[in-house]
């Protein structure tokens, strides 16, 4: 895995968001992943919890865009962190900080940890 490959993992995730299918999004997370989502204070620690969050999030038809990114590579793991923004079908936009930790498991790169928090107003 190189930095370009890590960037493509975000593109894959964003494509799953565009599909509108929470199952496609959830399939990108490992079975023991932790999601600390942008628009909820409830940590999601199971596939069902992750699917539940994205069921609501996808109703707004979000389109994600990376604003800044830093990538670190390790042995069978990678991390991407920075800022991104989402535009929703109603024109509403949010900016957030993010961290994705990816692990290589069973021949696939999966999201092990995803933390996303709204940007502070100041």
pLDDT in tens, 75-102: 999 999 999 999 999 999 999 999 999 9
What is the pLDDT at residue 33?
Answer: 98
Given a cut of 90, whether residue 10 has pLDDT beyond it is: yes
* Domains parsed from the chain with CATH numbers: 3-118 (3.10.450.50)
For the chain, the 3-state helix, strand and coil shares in percent, each to the nearest 5, are: 30, 45, 25
Q: Please report, rounded to a whole number, the percentage of residues in the chain having pLDDT higher than 90.
A: 93
Global pTM value: 0.93
Instruction: Output the average pLDDT for the chain.
Output: 96
pLDDT tens digits for 35-67?
999 988 999 999 999 999 999 999 999 999 999
The number of beta carbons lying within 10 Å of the beta carbon of residue 5 is 13
Q: What residues contact 98, with CB distance under 8 A and at least 6 apart?
A: 80, 81, 82, 83, 84, 114, 115, 116
Nearest to 93 by CA among 116, 61, 52, 56: 61
Q: Is 62 left (phi over 0), alpha (psi -120 to 50) or beta?
A: beta
What is the pLDDT at residue 121?
Answer: 81
What is the pLDDT at residue 28?
Answer: 98
């Amino acid at each position: 895995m190189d930095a370009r490959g890590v960037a493509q993992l975000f593109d894959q995730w964003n494509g799953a968001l565009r599909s509108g299918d929470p199952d496609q999004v959830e399939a990108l997370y490992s079975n023991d992943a932790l999601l600390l989502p942008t628009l909820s204070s409830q940590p999601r620690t199971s596939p069902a919890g992750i699917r539940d969050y994205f069921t609501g999030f996808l109703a707004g038809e979000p389109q994600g865009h990376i604003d800044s990114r830093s990538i670190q590579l390790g042995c069978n793991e990678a991390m991407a962190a920075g800022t991104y923004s989402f535009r929703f079908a109603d024109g509403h936009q949010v900016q957030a900080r993010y961290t994705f930790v990816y692990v290589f498991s069973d021949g696939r790169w999966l999201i092990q940890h995803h933390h996303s928090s709204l940007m502070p107003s100041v």
